[in-house]
């Protein structure tokens, strides 16, 4: 089959890798509008469940990704003037640029024609393809031209966020909440390799305006944020771009849903099909899993493609609905931070607040709360980390032995 992926993000590249692995006779092309290595954004987090899937589907790229990812242990919640409250768990993080380099390299190794500096419209994509994969992200042009047929909706979140980096190296996933004269503002930060961390700053539109963060000079925004977060950043600076990138700007999260992901020979994948608020850290994982599921259903030639696309659409959309509902709850929790924290930082109980933050996606059994209280004790945290390390190592040792899905 001739397969054209529009968009060289995780969804388009991974679909290309898996299609080429599955049948080297497929002619697979990826069209990416940006120059090579000109990705926006900093690090993305993921967990062992994704690594298991990646090792099963393409052990080569999975091993490189694991090698270049960093591990964070535990989560810290910092609230103006209070000692940190702690949450358990560990995860991985990798710079988005490195992730895309790994996937591009692997795709080329497998014979995929990856073309950068190549913006594609529908005419270009359709010209020579049995299947067009619209992996062109949240603002997908291929989707929006036929928004009615896809039943596309886009709902904007209320808060503003800006995706920054910092040279402070966090070793935990850290939330820091600062009370300003305009109200609460906070960041979500985690390590992202190369002695850098990711730092996503979020606040309500009122706070953004009240702090003068809606002006036209982005450098002034960075300076103001460095001043506000001087404590949790230990005086380190914030970075608004990687070398060669455009400077970061403020956005509002856009939740994309579609009534169907297929239209003729075109199928939506990744953010073009669905988005989930960044506070559940899952968009990349979901994009990669879309690719895994679609690749597994691809026929050897174009015969029966319509039915296969229909099956993909029905099944994957059903899986995504509840995940998007969870992400919406998480987003709504952050939109309500003022109510959770109140106007007086001194009156906040950080341990209770941290538990509230942790269970924002749904409810948990009572024992979880007792575990949370115990996690505030240093020796318990050390023990939980040790258990996490053993789990991680055991899981990693098993991976090279996971039978790969046959190509
Ligand atoms: C602040 C923030 C933090 C996040 N953190 C995490 C996290 O921790 N973990 C996680 O799993 N996810 C995270 N995500 C989500 C994640 O970045 C996305 O879900 C993921 O990148 C989706 O992959 P994609 O391939 O569908 O789209 P994208 O990565 O957006 O790729 C789409 C590509 O298509 C290209 N393109 C667009 N139009 C055209 C065209 N006409 N022609 C050619 N190319 C085109 C674009 O240039 C882009 O390279 C975060 C997102 C944000 C905003």
Please report the pLDDT score of residue 364 as a whole number: 84
Residue among 156, 368, 357, 143 nearest 258 (CA): 143
Q: Please give the structure tokens belonging to residue 235.
A: 């005086």
Under the banding of pLDDT at 50, 70 and 90, the label for residue 123 is confident
What residues form DSSP beta bridges with 2? 27
Per-residue pLDDT, 390: 94
**pLDDT of res. 130:** 94
pLDDT for the residue numbered 195: 86
pLDDT digits (tens, 9 = 90+) for 295-326: 999 998 888 999 999 999 999 999 999 999 99
SS3 label, residue 78: strand
Return the C-alpha torsion angle 284, 288, 293, 299, nearest 10: 140
Hey, whose CA ends up nearest to atom 35 of ligand 1? 7
CA–centroid distance, 8 to ligand 1, in Å, is: 9
Instruction: Determine how many CB atoms are found less than 10 A away from the CB of residue 24.
Output: 12
Instruction: List pLDDT tens digits, range 260-299.
Output: 999 999 999 999 999 999 999 999 999 999 999 999 999 9
The answer to whether 221 and 228 have CB atoms below 8 angstroms apart is no
What letter does residue 152 receive in the DSSP assignment?
-
Closest CA to 176 of 94, 81, 249: 81
Report pLDDT for 362.
Answer: 80
Using CB distances shorter than 6 Å, the residues near ligand 1 are 6-12, 31-34, 41, 44-46, 119-120, 135-137, 141, 163, 200, 270-271, 278, 281-285, 287
- Which band of pLDDT confidence, cut at 50, 70 and 90, is reported for residue 356? very high
Whether the predicted pLDDT of 406 surpasses 70: no
> pLDDT at residue 112 above 60?
yes
Query: What is the distance in A from the centroid of ligand 1 to the CA of 63?
Result: 22
Taking only the tens place, the pLDDT of each residue in 378-404 is 999 999 999 999 999 999 998 876 656
Mean model confidence pLDDT for the chain: 94
Query: Is the model's pLDDT at 216 over the cut of 90?
Result: no
Instruction: Collapse the DSSP code of 259 into the 3-class scheme (helix H, G, I; strand E, B; otherwise coil) and give the result.
Output: coil
CB atoms within 10 A of CB 98: 19
Residue 349 CA, ligand 1 centroid: distance in Å: 37
Q: Best mutation site among 35, 42, 44 for ligand 1, i.e. most ligand atoms within 8 A of its Cβ?
A: 44
pLDDT of residue 402: 60
State the closest ligand 1 atom to the C-alpha of 31, by its place in the atom list counted from 1: 43
User: For residue 242, what is the DSSP state?
Assistant: -
Question: Does residue 407 have a pLDDT over 60?
Answer: no
| Confidence bin at 125 (pLDDT 50/70/90) | low
- By CB neighbour count within 10 A (0-12 exposed, 13-18 middle, 19+ buried), where does 312 fall? buried
Ligand 1 mean position to 47 CA, how many Å? 18
Q: Could you tell me the distance, in angstroms and rounded to a whole number, from the CA of residue 179 to the centre of ligand 1?
A: 31
Q: Which atom of ligand 1 is nearest to the CA of 161?
A: 1
The total of other beta-carbon atoms located within 10 Å of residue 169's CB is 15
Task: Tell me the domains of the chain and their CATH numbers.
Answer: 2-68+95-157+253-334 (3.50.50.60), 160-251+336-399 (3.30.9)
Q: Is the pLDDT of residue 164 over 70?
A: yes
DSSP collapsed to 3 states, 283-310: HHHHHHHHHHHHHHHCCCCCCCHHHHHH
With CA atoms as reference, report the closest residue to 133 among 39, 275, 242, 272: 272
Using DSSP, state whether 354 is helix, strand or coil: helix
- Cα(9) to ligand 1 centroid in Å equals 6
């Amino acid at each position: 089959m001739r397969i054209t992926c529009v968009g060289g993000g995780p969804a388009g590249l991974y679909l290309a890798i898996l299609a080429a692995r599955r049948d080297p006779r497929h002619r697979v092309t990826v069209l990416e509008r940006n120059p090579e290595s000109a990705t926006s954004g900093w690090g993305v987090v993921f967990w062992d469940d994704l690594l298991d899937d990646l090792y099963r589907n393409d052990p080569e790229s999975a091993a490189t990704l694991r090698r270049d990812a960093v591990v964070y242990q535990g989560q810290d919640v910092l609230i103006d003037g209070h000692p940190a409250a702690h949450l358990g768990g560990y995860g991985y993080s990798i710079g988005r640029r490195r992730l895309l380099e790994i996937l591009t390299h692997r795709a080329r190794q497998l014979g995929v024609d990856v073309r950068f500096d190549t913006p594609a419209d529908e005419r270009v994509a359709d010209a020579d393809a049995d299947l067009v994969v619209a992996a062109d992200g949240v603002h997908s042009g291929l989707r929006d031209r036929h928004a009615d047929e896809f039943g596309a909706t886009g709902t904007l979140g209320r808060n503003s966020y800006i995706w920054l980096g910092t040279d402070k190296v966090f070793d935990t996933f850290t939330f820091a909440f600062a009370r300003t004269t305009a109200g609460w503002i906070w960041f979500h930060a985690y390590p992202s390799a190369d002695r850098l961390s990711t730092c996503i700053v979020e606040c309500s539109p009122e706070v953004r305006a009240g702090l003068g963060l809606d002006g036209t000079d982005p450098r002034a925004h960075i300076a103001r944020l460095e001043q506000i977060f001087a404590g949790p950043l230990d005086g380190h600076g914030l970075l608004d771009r990687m070398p060669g990138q455009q400077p970061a700007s403020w956005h509002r999260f856009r939740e994309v849903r579609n009534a169907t992901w297929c239209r003729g020979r075109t199928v939506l994948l990744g953010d073009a099909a669905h988005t989930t608020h960044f506070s559940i850290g899952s968009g990349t994982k979901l994009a990669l899993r879309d690719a895994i599921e679609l690749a597994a259903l691809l026929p050897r030639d174009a015969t029966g493609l319509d039915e296969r696309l229909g099956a993909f659409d029905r099944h994957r959309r059903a899986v995504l609905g509840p995940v998007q509902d969870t992400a919406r709850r998480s987003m709504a929790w952050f939109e309500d931070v003022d109510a959770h924290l109140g106007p007086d930082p001194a009156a906040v109980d950080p341990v209770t607040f941290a538990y509230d933050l942790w269970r924002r996606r749904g409810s948990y059994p009572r024992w979880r709360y007792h575990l949370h209280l115990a996690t505030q004790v240093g020796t318990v945290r050390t023990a939980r980390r040790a258990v996490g390390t053993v789990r991680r190592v055991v899981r990693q040792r098993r991976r090279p032995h996971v039978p790969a899905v046959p190509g």
